[in-house]
A and B are shown apart, each in its own frame.
Chain A
Amino acid sequence: MRKIIATEFYTLDGLMSDPKDEMEWVLNIFNEEIGRYEDDVYDRIDTLLLGRITYKIFEGYWPQALDNPSTPEGEIELAKKINNADKIVFSKTLQDVAWKNSKIIRQINPKEIMKIKKEKGKDLLIVGSASIVQQLTNFGLIDEYHLLLHPVVLGTGKALFKNIDNRKTLKLTGSKKFSNGVVGLFYE
């Protein structure tokens, strides 16, 4: 069965975005090692599961990235993978999606998600999208959590696990110390 992986950049105070979604605390220390992690995880998947906000950020960046001369060389392959992947956006309000291979699902229905997991294909990846992580965590549908803990405290922002119904104990499967001070925590 296909796995659902959640990859999340987050902070020592449990936040996955600053109030303006600017993510400069990620970009400031982003390096090749983190890039390699991303390349590896995107190699495993063929579908992205996104919330509306993350989808809009991606839609505003990745489709143009291939034609944009300022796109870093190391990002070209990633841009191809992301553009070619299927994108499923969970949103009650989004009117339509212009990006190729994208579709909207209005509501998270665990049966429907299970159906997708049973389809043929590579794994599925959630990026950011805290509300999707929380809802799928509540349904017990996430198979792997890749939590990249950044050495920063933001104070205010969106909490990664804010609306989980119950506490969730996970199994630590590995950890990785990145040279820029990020610690990758890998759970199932």
Chain B
Amino acid sequence: MRKLKLQTQVSIDGFMATPEGKLDWLTWDWDDGLKKYVNELTEPVDCILLGRNIAGGFIDAWASRVKNTEDPDIWFSRKMVETQKIVFTKTLQNAEWENTKLANGDIVEEVNQLKKQTGQDIIAYGGANFVSSLITNGLIDEYNLFINPTAIGKGMTIFSNLKEKFNLKLVQSKAFGCGIVMNKYVPL
């Protein structure tokens, strides 16, 4: 069965965005080690899952960035543009973006259906509500949390609506020169 990976940037105190959804606290000057790590994480991915709230911003940003042919990281932009994306929504009727399909059904059924198909890894990037639903329904097979060196006090979390506490198993931890620490966890 295909693996569903989560990749998300979090603050020291575990938030993925400010209460307004802002990401201006993120460390942007990634060192080469971190870039290489993320490329390796992304390379075996052939399907991207997005929540409705961030889909438009995400898809448009990469569509614009891929036009910059001088960008040394253009491989990544191409990967984001060319990989099939599935947007989870209850309201949208038509997918208005390239390489994008909509999933309107029950999240558990939709994701399990995708996992059963043949293919490479699936990755989810956000937003917070969508990822929370994936987590509470036990659908994430691998958590890749990139801890940025900033505490923001309050904000959006991927761990909302939990009914009870849960434990994860740490499988890897790696610190990068730019100050980000990557922790990889799997469900127990």
Contacts and interface: CB of A to CB of B under 8 A. Distances in A.
Given A161-B13, A183-B173, A185-B12, A155 B159 contact: yes
Contacts of A18: 165
Given A13-B14, A155-B159, A181-B169, A167 B153 contact: yes
A162 interface: yes
Interface size class of B (residues with CB under 8 A): 20 to 34
Given A169-B25, A171-B149, A183 B183 contact: yes
A151 B55 CA distance: 29
Given A172-B181, A183-B183, A185-B147, A151 B167 contact: yes
B14 A14 contact: yes
Contacts of A163: 153
Interface in B151-183: 151-154, 157, 159, 162-170, 172-173, 175, 179-181, 183
Interface residues of A, number: 34
Contact of A167 (B150, B168, B175): B150
A172 B167 contact: no
A149 B179 CA distance: 16
Interface of B: 11-15, 25, 145, 147, 149-154, 157, 159, 162-170, 172-173, 175, 179-181, 183, 185
Given A13-B157, A160-B151, A172-B175, 19 more contacts: A12-B168, A13-B14, A13-B159, A14-B11, A14-B12, A25-B165, A151-B167, A151-B169, A155-B159, A160-B13, A161-B13, A163-B153, A170-B151, A171-B149, A172-B180, A181-B170, A183-B173, A183-B181, A187-B12
Interface of A: 11-14, 18, 25, 137, 147, 149, 151-155, 159-164, 167-172, 174-175, 177, 181-183, 185, 187
